Structure 1
Amino acid sequence: MSTNSHVDSPPGADAITVLDPRDGTVVGTLEPSTPEQVEIALSLARTVHPEWAATAPAVRGRHLRSAADALRAAAPELAELNARETGRPVEEALAGVHAGVSALEQYAELGPVHRGRALRGAVLAADYTVAEPRGVAVLLTPWNDPVAVAVGLIAAALVTGNTVVHKPSERCPHLGVRLGEVLSQAFPYGVLITLTGGAEVGALLTRQSGVDVFAHVGSSATGERIARVAALTGTHVLRENGGNDPLVIDADVDPVWAAEQAAVGAFANSGQICTAVERIYVHREISGRFAEALVEQARRRNDTGAFAPLVDTKLREEVHAQVSEAITFGAVRAIGGRIPEGPGAHYPATVLLGCTEVMRVMTEETFGPVAPVTVVESFEEGLARAAAGRYGLAATVLTGSIANAQRAVATLPVGTVKVNAVFGGAPGGSAQPRGISGEGFGYGPELLDEFTRVKVVHISSPSARTR
């Protein structure tokens, strides 16, 4: 457990050992938090919450700015830890740390101006709403963008007056502990606490009483388990979970440009992004040229020798199992799709042609550098196929038609629709995932609403009887 520091224990049977996915060398070993430490952390967070909640929002904002300065100073160290534990290139990891700095600075500004609303009532009365912190927030965060995602949630929770117990992913525990040490020094003791451990610690946290909000970014299966527990306890749940994001490509776009977009969406961070392109529907008129260009994009990435590995061999096995199954069911392996020799958890950029909905690469989240392609006869067919399925995180359409773009916005049942760009968007943007992809706002100003409750106040003029 870490409040302002972390104490290592001798490794035991449940110790977490992390291997560098680039070469298989040992990064280090950490003990998971014990049930007693979990209970102590939650008790401490509850104890210090009233004082932190009573702190003026502007003062809480100053604490966030101090945390931003500390995070900026520790950026090279944290980026290197990220690279060692998850395999993410240092430059990309550094960008994630700086995104965390920006989140702290953004919420330091937004928190103090987070306000209620005036309600129109009687002339001689006042009606308004007040936003109050929920209390103790338990944050369970992922490994694929571990600093940016965690810091965004931490910043929004703290600036609105909640205390935080944070459990980072067991796939990057050293990074999570060090991040907690860096940030917690900017806040009063016990306001931000870091725990270590895997699914068993996360499950223990969700079963504890006295938790007012759960925020989870990770798999849909875990998110659903948290939601079921919270339904019995009444705990507010905020979750961004898995995606199976489609890309629909119209006949009127440049197929080479479309392939570039598809490659960025499917292969960035080796496909380990919640909003990665997971399935592609391309119009038959440009399908041949598109496929050739997409294979070339994959080949360029594979030939550089610098293509980042997956986070570990377990995930690589899961990705390869989906690829192998698709090939068994009739998909054509245009490039990639084979586990390379040597140490580490590397997997090549892979393009599969002729895919159908009987294959898991088209219906489940793959979370690897795989681009499964299906040819459709019309944009409308592509939209219909894209709208099918249990997930509802995001979707992208590439089209030169305003009418088709509008049709996509109106019909795709997802939290975010992107037109003519697989990534991007304005700072502070937010969305509400649907289906098994989650619930609640995960980013932007609306995230402050997730960490607060609204109280309605009605004040009337005193009557003559009160004199």
Structure 2
Amino acid sequence: MAPHATENGATNGTSQSGGLDFTTFSNVIDGKLSSTQKTRHGINPATAKANPEVPVSTQEDVESAMAAGKKAAKQWAKTPYAERQKAVLAWADAIESEKDGFAKLLTQEQGKPLHFAAFEMDFTLQIIRTMANLELPTEEIIDEADRKVLVRYTPLGLTVGIAPWNYPVLLTCSKIAPCVVTGNPIIIKPSPFTPYGGLKVVELAQRFFPPGVVQALSGDDSLGPWLTAHPAPAKVSFTGSSATGKRVMESCAKTLKRVTLELGGNDPAIVLDDVNVDEVAPKIATLAFLNSGQICLALKRIFVHEKIYESFRDKMVEHTKTLKVGEGFEKDVFLGPIQNSMQYERVKGFFEAIDTEKYNVAVGGKNPEGPGYFITPTIIDRPKEDSRIVVEEPFGPIVPLLTFSTDEEAIEKANNTNYGLGASVWSGDVERAAKVAKELEAGSVWVNTHFEIDPRAPFGGFKESGIGTEFGVGGLKSYCNSQTLYLKKK
């Protein structure tokens, strides 16, 4: 079921106690909560029941937000860096005070188990605070007798941030924090499947930023193209699929907007023959099925040395059977539902290939019936390496288990993809693993772990996994013009 449209007005505000009201949702334009005549609603993916109504923005709403953002840009750029940092950190404190409400909202709209929703909120706060505490000083490149050359970083201007549905609050805030701390206003477009958390963090931001600095527009499929094609923004930051990322980049090219694209992945894990199978196999299974496989960085192709393949497969299967599938508020649930019907049908297509491509199923293969978009975690035992389950990114809890005989073969197989987001190497010999890791074509490569992101370090992808980087000082610079200043001394 896609988000459903109705004719209605939306209101919003704070509860009687002064905290956020998590039952009503609005656009945020020029510091004010804004309703629309037409609304729609998302679907709770665990129950298939309707979530609350949200606005469907019009072109007039887009124009109003663009005008407010451009108006706010000059004054916000002139606001001292320290004051901008203070505002972002105060916003983070306010989010933390509402953390439990946000976590419950995430489980309701995204489907992830409540303890993973709490993790998303904790990591969101870490990202905001890390980015806000980074400094972006003027760099002195040359200081000679007759001249000085400086490099300074100035705000680009109004930015559009487009967030996906798998980590809706985290990825919204990871765009807002570096954008506004470097002096740029931002318009957030949350996913129509998960608009709720994004609208609320922007609503909360109005307490700490001048009108027009942090805005949000909820909408349907028309909204993204309106935003990316509009001449006012200087940049678009997009997180989502590679296919959509290409369309975003094409739209931005017409006005030469800057773009940061964090796109899909088909992350390999290389498991060398010297690992402790009992320790590593459960970790690999956990990382493959985290967030029901709906992570761009989730393990999606698992290459195991042929010497240990059978024992490793059996241990992975054993652990996978312990992973509970269910509604996110239930106790001990590890896998919630697939977030939306469109992705659910796509993932089910990989299960249909079990019969047509004659896959060997090591565990799983049958999905539960009833309401909700639930998928049983499934491991495919040694499919053909040109099969769909190996070549494409399912973005769901179904993974292929494959073999190799030498380190060189593992590297070649891991790099045989159009993606290059993340990868990991697992070994009892860190030096051997590091040697393999350095040959992998991916923006983030881990040894003996995976998915451990530090917002102080740059994050981005090779090949069709993205353009540019987020996080770290480089992430701040991506929201800036680089100006080289030549000072001739007397």
Fold conserved (TM > 0.5)? Answer: yes
Q: Does 1:378 align with 2:406?
A: yes
**What do the CA deviations read for 1:7-43 (whole angstroms, capped 9, x no partner)?**
3445x4xx43212111122112223211111111111
Paired with 1:58 and 1:155, the residues of 2 have a C-alpha distance of 14
Displacement of 1:425 in angstroms is 4.6
- 1:215 partner SS: strand
Displacement of 1:338 in angstroms is 2.2
**Structure 2 matches for 1:146-295, cutoff 5 A?**
146-295=168-317
Check conservation: 1:49, 1:136, Cα contact below 8 A.
yes
Name 1:94's counterpart in structure 2: 118
Check conservation: 1:331, 1:352, Cα contact below 8 A.
yes
Paired with 1:327 and 1:397, the residues of 2 have a C-alpha distance of 32
Displacement of 1:345 in angstroms is 0.8
Q: Does 1:422 align with 2:444?
A: no
**What do the CA deviations read for 1:256-297 (whole angstroms, capped 9, x no partner)?**
222112112211111111100001111111111111111111
Q: Does 1:129 align with 2:147?
A: no
Name 2:6's counterpart in structure 1: none
Q: CA 1:198–1:266 in structure 2 vs 1: closer, same or farther (change >3 Å)?
A: farther
Higher helix fraction: Structure 1 or Structure 2?
1
Q: Does 1:25 align with 2:49?
A: yes
Q: Does 1:2 align with 2:28?
A: yes
- 1:23 partner SS: coil
**Structure 2 matches for 1:330-369, cutoff 5 A?**
330-369=358-397
- 1:143 partner SS: coil
Paired with 1:67 and 1:171, the residues of 2 have a C-alpha distance of 25
Paired with 1:429 and 1:198, the residues of 2 have a C-alpha distance of 34
Paired with 1:205 and 1:451, the residues of 2 have a C-alpha distance of 17
Q: Does 1:37 align with 2:61?
A: yes
**What do the CA deviations read for 1:414-438 (whole angstroms, capped 9, x no partner)?**
1011111123254522233111110
Check conservation: 1:18, 1:29, Cα contact below 8 A.
yes
Check conservation: 1:251, 1:379, Cα contact below 8 A.
no
- 2:34 partner SS: coil
- 2:482 partner SS: strand
Paired with 2:377 and 2:363, the residues of 1 have a C-alpha distance of 8
Displacement of 1:347 in angstroms is 0.8
Q: CA 1:279–1:140 in structure 2 vs 1: closer, same or farther (change >3 Å)?
A: same
- 1:100 partner SS: helix
Paired with 2:219 and 2:241, the residues of 1 have a C-alpha distance of 16
Paired with 1:386 and 1:362, the residues of 2 have a C-alpha distance of 10
Of 381-390 and 24-33, more deviation after overlay is shown by: 24-33
Of residues 93, 103, 123, the one that matches 1:69 is: 93
Counterpart residue identity of residue 302, structure 2: I
Of residues 62, 75, 90, the one that matches 1:51 is: 75
Q: CA 1:327–1:352 in structure 2 vs 1: closer, same or farther (change >3 Å)?
A: farther
Paired with 1:199 and 1:383, the residues of 2 have a C-alpha distance of 40
Displacement of 1:98 in angstroms is 2.3
Paired with 2:178 and 2:455, the residues of 1 have a C-alpha distance of 15
Q: CA 1:370–1:420 in structure 2 vs 1: closer, same or farther (change >3 Å)?
A: same
Paired with 2:471 and 2:76, the residues of 1 have a C-alpha distance of 23
Check conservation: 1:244, 1:364, Cα contact below 8 A.
yes
Check conservation: 2:36, 2:56, Cα contact below 8 A.
no
TM-score (norm 2): 0.89
Displacement of 1:403 in angstroms is 4.8
**Unmatched tracts of structure 2, length 5 or more:** 1-26, 326-331
Paired with 1:429 and 1:448, the residues of 2 have a C-alpha distance of 11
Paired with 1:352 and 1:220, the residues of 2 have a C-alpha distance of 24
Counterpart residue identity of residue 252, structure 1: D
TM-score (norm 1): 0.94
**What do the CA deviations read for 1:145-202 (whole angstroms, capped 9, x no partner)?**
1112211210000000001011011111122211211122210111111001243211
RMSD: 1.7
Check conservation: 1:74, 1:182, Cα contact below 8 A.
no
Of 29-38 and 160-169, more deviation after overlay is shown by: 29-38
- How many residue pairs match? The answer is 457
Q: CA 1:353–1:384 in structure 2 vs 1: closer, same or farther (change >3 Å)?
A: same
Paired with 1:174 and 1:402, the residues of 2 have a C-alpha distance of 43
Instruction: Give identity over the alignment, percent.
Output: 29
Of residues 165, 190, 211, the one that matches 1:143 is: 165
Of 154-163 and 78-87, more deviation after overlay is shown by: 78-87
Displacement of 1:305 in angstroms is 6.0
**Unmatched tracts of structure 1, length 5 or more:** 463-467
Q: CA 1:216–1:75 in structure 2 vs 1: closer, same or farther (change >3 Å)?
A: same
Check conservation: 1:160, 1:448, Cα contact below 8 A.
yes
Name 1:321's counterpart in structure 2: 349
Counterpart residue identity of residue 315, structure 2: A
Check conservation: 1:312, 1:344, Cα contact below 8 A.
no
- 1:214 partner SS: strand
Paired with 1:305 and 1:154, the residues of 2 have a C-alpha distance of 31
Of 208-217 and 122-131, more deviation after overlay is shown by: 122-131
Q: CA 1:120–1:64 in structure 2 vs 1: closer, same or farther (change >3 Å)?
A: same
Q: CA 1:9–1:40 in structure 2 vs 1: closer, same or farther (change >3 Å)?
A: closer
Check conservation: 1:310, 1:345, Cα contact below 8 A.
yes
**What do the CA deviations read for 1:18-75 (whole angstroms, capped 9, x no partner)?**
1211112211222321111111111110111000000000111111121012111121
Name 2:489's counterpart in structure 1: 461
Paired with 1:331 and 1:322, the residues of 2 have a C-alpha distance of 10
- 1:126 partner SS: strand
Check conservation: 1:302, 1:348, Cα contact below 8 A.
no
